[in-house]
């Protein structure tokens, strides 16, 4: 098993990783932030305009900070069944699956996407902030399995096109692949762009139709420019991480570090369905999942409110005069026009009609709401 050398050429600490599209973002006037050690665009102009572009037309995202780990070998499927909460051996070639990497005590180390790219090869895509935790856990759990784990993060670019016009835009790229129109959600295809291999995945984190394209880092600028050209007549808009966050919140998608952490079990956050208790044998964390969380463990709820004041992560949630939890993610929804939030609250208050959020000293009455807050209309 091999991975990225943690030291620089001179033996000192390695330079921070850089998205291969950094120069393009700087030229486009993006506001950059440090995100898990990567300089990433948080916005190019207006968060609202970028959010609306994805809901109404299409948005273009650089997601090259995400971690790409290649797992291959005769025991690759068996290793992932042991290491992750899902039954990855059941994946068909080019199928993708959302899964969880659990600790022995059942807490969530990371949530991730797994693509089966061959009979004995898988691509595991993890959150940037958990790259090394996932890599270390997989390598530790690989003992006794004939499988290799290679960290390809810094050699890989990930570019996403999201929104109703995404299919029309990606089809105009001239990718050498099978037709994209029939590609189902959470499926992928191998393709070629200007001589470079590209993994074309119909996946995303926005609640809209879209594609995520994995390509060698050295080819990223050419692909980015080709997408911009293909998207001109469709109103394609450059989008940063701020818009991606409000899009995923509206879609009720959890974010690691907010809704997900080592301190919560999947059932507390509505992800019990992701754990394959009935369809596979032992895996790391199984005993803790079977035992379940403590009776008083908080559960995730959706909250909506009126007005324009947005609940933010960390704001207290009250049931009457008692603090019963805290907001994990919140915003004034650009699409719905009112405040929305996800919060972890005491189970006895999950269906209470007396909830409110303390927004900087002001009580904001809140109503529990089934997730997601927003769901796109099915294609005709």
- Structural domain of residue 318, as residue ranges? 294-380
Residue 330 sits in the same domain as residue 253: no
The token duo for 340 is 């929305």
Same domain, 80 and 53: yes
pLDDT tens for 97-129 read 999 999 999 999 999 999 999 999 999 999 999
Same domain, 21 and 90: yes
Domain of 256, CATH number, reads 3.30.1360.120
Domain check: are 37 and 141 in the same one? yes
Q: What is the pLDDT of residues 166-184, one digit of tens each?
A: 999 999 999 999 999 999 9
Asked whether residue 209 falls in the same domain as residue 310, the answer is no
Residue where a domain terminates, one of 271, 290, 309: 290
In a shared domain, residues 241 and 255 = yes
51-77 mean pLDDT: 98
pLDDT tens-digit profile of 249-267?
Answer: 999 999 999 999 999 999 9
Pair (34, 81) in one structural domain: yes
| 344, containing H or E segment | strand 339-345
pLDDT of residue 12: 52
Asked if residue 360 and residue 272 are part of one domain, the reply reads no
pLDDT at 379: 53
pLDDT at 319: 98
Phi, psi angle pair for 52, to nearest 5°: -65, -35
The pLDDT, as a whole number, for residue 16 is 78
325, 279 Cβ separation under 8 angstroms: no
> Average of pLDDT values for 297-321?
97
CA 370 to chain centre: 20
> Is residue 254 a contact partner of residue 264, using CB atoms and an 8 Å limit?
no
Report the candidate in 364, 313, 324 with the shortest Cα–Cα distance to residue 348: 324
Do both 54 and 159 map to the same domain? yes
Asked which of 290, 305, 338 is the last residue of a domain, the reply is 290
* Statement: residue 140 has pLDDT above 50: yes
CATH number at residue 346: 2.40.30.110
Average pLDDT over the chain reads 95
pLDDT for the residue numbered 150: 98
Report the half-sphere exposure of 121 (CA within 13 A, side-chain side): 6
> Where a domain ends, among 255, 290, 325?
290
The DSSP 8-state label assigned to residue 208 in this structure reads S
In the structure, what pLDDT confidence band is assigned to residue 4 with cuts at 50, 70 and 90?
Answer: very low
The length of the chain is 380
Based on the fold, state whether residues 273 and 330 are members of the same structural domain: no
Report how many domains make up the chain.
2
pLDDT recorded at residue 15: 73
Same domain for 40 and 16: yes
Q: Tell me which DSSP letter residue 28 carries.
A: T
Count of Cβ atoms closer than 10 Å to residue 365 Cβ: 13
pLDDT of 7 reads 32
DSSP assignment string, 56-105: HS-EEEE-TTSEEEEEESTTHHHHHHHHSSS-GGGPPTTBEEEEEEE-TT
Q: Which two tokens stand for residue 378?
A: 């099915």
The whole-angstrom separation of Cα 323 and Cα 131 is: 34
Q: State yes or no: cis peptide before 319, omega within 30 of 0.
A: no
- Three-class SS state of 216: strand
Strands 31-35 and 38-43: antiparallel
State how far the Cα of 267 lies from the Cα of 39, in Å rounded to an integer: 34
Binned at pLDDT 50, 70 and 90, residue 2 comes out as: very low
Alpha helices in the chain (DSSP H): 22-27, 47-56, 76-83, 131-141, 166-171, 220-230, 241-250, 286-291
**What confidence score (pLDDT) does residue 5 get?**
35
Mean pLDDT of the region 216-245: 98
pLDDT at 14: 65
Q: What digits encode the pLDDT tens for the residues 338-378?
A: 999 999 999 999 999 999 999 999 999 999 999 999 999 86
* Pair (146, 274) in one structural domain: yes
> What's the pLDDT score for residue 10?
46
């Amino acid at each position: 098993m091999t991975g990225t050398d943690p030291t620089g050429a001179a033996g000192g600490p390695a330079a921070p990783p850089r998205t291969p599209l950094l120069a393009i973002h700087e030229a486009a006037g993006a506001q950059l932030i440090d995100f898990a050690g990567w300089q990433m665009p948080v916005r190019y102009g207006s968060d609202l305009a970028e959010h609306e572009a994805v809901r109404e037309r299409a948005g273009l995202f650089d997601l090259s900070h995400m971690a790409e780990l290649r797992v291959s070998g005769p025991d690759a499927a068996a290793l992932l069944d042991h290491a992750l909460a899902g039954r990855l051996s059941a994946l068909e070639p080019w199928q993708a699956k959302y899964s969880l990497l659990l600790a022995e005590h059942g807490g969530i180390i990371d949530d991730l996407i797994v693509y089966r790219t061959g009979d004995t090869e898988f691509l595991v895509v993890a959150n940037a902030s958990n790259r090394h935790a996932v890599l270390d856990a997989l390598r530790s759990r690989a003992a006794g399995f004939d499988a290799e784990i290679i960290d390809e993060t810094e050699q890989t670019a990930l570019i996403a096109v999201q929104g109703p016009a995404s299919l029309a835009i990606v089809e105009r790229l001239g990718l050498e692949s099978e037709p994209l129109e029939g590609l189902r959600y959470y499926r992928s295809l191998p393709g070629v762009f200007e001589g470079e291999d590209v993994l074309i995945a119909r996946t995303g984190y926005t609640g809209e139709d879209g594609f995520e394209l994995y390509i060698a880092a050295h080819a990223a600028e050419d692909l980015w420019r080709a997408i911009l050209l293909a998207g001109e007549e469709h109103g394609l808009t450059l989008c940063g991480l701020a818009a991606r966050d409000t899009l995923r919140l509206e879609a009720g998608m959890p974010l690691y570090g907010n809704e997900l952490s080592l301190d919560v079990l999947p059932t507390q956050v509505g992800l019990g369905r992701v754990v394959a208790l009935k369809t596979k044998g032992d895996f790391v964390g199984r005993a803790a999942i079977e035992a379940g969380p403590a009776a008083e463990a908080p559960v995730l709820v959706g909250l909506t409110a009126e007005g324009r004041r947005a609940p933010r992560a960390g704001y207290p949630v009250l049931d009457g005069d008692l603090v019963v939890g805290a907001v994990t993610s919140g915003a004034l929804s650009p699409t719905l026009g009112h405040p929305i939030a996800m919060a972890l609250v005491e189970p006895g208050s999950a269906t209470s009609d007396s909830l409110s959020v303390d927004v900087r000293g002001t009580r904001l009455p809140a109503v529990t709401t089934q997730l997601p807050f927003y769901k796109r209309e099915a294609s005709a």
